[in-house]
Structure formats: structure tokens, C-alpha cells
Amino acid sequence: VSTSGGHRYGQISPELRRRLERATEKHRRKQKLNACLKRKDMPTVDPGDNRTNAFSRNEIGRALNQMLDELLKGSAVALERLSVKDMRFKSRQMNRVLRASQLGYVRDKLKFKLDERGIRYRSVQPAYSSQQCSHCGFTFSLNRRSQAEFRCLWCGYEANADENAAANLAERFGDEELNLLPFREVETVLARRFMRRLPDARSASAGLDTRVNEV
């Protein structure tokens, strides 16, 4: 979990990675065993790993408690509106990490804890939050140089990519226009807002050419 204040809570620890690798290997063996059992018309075994799931959820609970304990009084929380079931990576390893991170569980557990503590929250439109500069508003796919690194090609602002996205999500907490828009229309609105901030619309294209050429 990343916050707009630059704090990050929880990670895929070395211990969880080890457990995940062991669980993946056990899952493969159980799948092979089940294939044999099915051919012999015998009952199959559960391929799941409850111990790894329990360990992962315990780590998640600890990270969320730490975040909420450090939350300033009177704060509100903007939650990224995610469709976890549609998230996929090309890398099998990254898909295993995604499953271990249990994003759906994180979201539901966080909502439960926020309700429990009486903290205001709402789900916000996440479209292009990872590509938008939280300082100047310029939105471009190449602003996000890697999974962890963000550098705005317009103003030069640099930050951890998750922290930059978290700052954008915080700004969208009360942004009714963006939160009601379909995903594909958000980019147009962000571009229009950025252009309005410029003293002269003609300077936008000139500035962009200069910045891109520096990369």
C-alpha cells in the first residue's frame, strides 16, 4: 500500500517469496497426482495451500494496521477502483506474485478496517493515475519509465511511481467529473485540464518536443 504522503506499507518479503515458491512446486505435484487419480476414477486432493494464504493475510493485516495507526486524525482515504480479476502479467512469476499479494483481499480488508475505525473513504477513478504527473498534471505513457520509476517529461519531476500515483488518487477524492467518467474518456479530460493551465496553448507542443528529445 502506498500513500500520497510518500509512505509505503507491506511488501512481498523474502520469506513470503520462499513460501510462494514451495507452494507453487507443491501445486504442480498435486496437479500431476490429481491427473493420475482422475484416470483411476479416484477422489482428488485439494491443490490449495492454506498455510501460505494464512501467512500472506497475516502480513497484510499487519501492514494495514500500521498504516491506519499512522494516519493523521481527520484524514480520508481514496481507494483505487481496481478490477483484480482482470489483472494479468505476461510473466508467470509476476502472476504468482499478484496472487500472493491478494489485492482483492487487501481492498476488502482495508474497507472493513476503515469502517471499524470510522474513517471516511471512497473508491476513485484510477485511469492514467500512473502516467499523470502529480506536480504539473502532464499525462503521458513514457512518464512512467519502469514499474518503480516516474519522471515527468514536461516538468522533470521525479518520484517513486506508486507514490506519484497515490498523490493523483488523493486529488481525485472529490473530483466528481473524473469519477463519473468511463475509463477511455479520462485521458481527454486530463489533457484538456493540462492545456488550460498553460499560459499559451501553443507552448504545449513546443515544450513537449524539447522534453522528449532529452530522453
Share of the chain above pLDDT 90, in %: 45
Per-domain residue ranges of the chain = 1-124, 125-215
Does residue 165 surpass a pLDDT of 90? yes
Q: Which amino acid is residue 30, in one-letter code?
A: K
User: Can you tell me the distance from the alpha carbon of 207 to that of 215, in angstroms, rounded to the nearest whole number?
Assistant: 13
Q: Provide CB contacts within 8 A for 81, sequence distance 6+.
A: 123, 124, 125, 126
Average pLDDT over residues 101-129: 90
Residue, of 129 and 210, whose pLDDT is higher = 129
Does residue 202 surpass a pLDDT of 50? no
Task: Tell me the β-bridge partners of 160.
Answer: 149
Q: Among 71-75, 89-93, 115-119, 145-149, name the one with the lowest average pLDDT.
A: 89-93
Does residue 5 surpass a pLDDT of 60? yes
User: 0.75 cut: is pTM over it?
Assistant: no
Q: pLDDT tens for residues 152-163?
A: 999 999 999 999
Does residue 213 surpass a pLDDT of 80? no
Residue, of 114 and 105, whose pLDDT is higher = 114
The whole-chain average pLDDT of the chain stands at 82
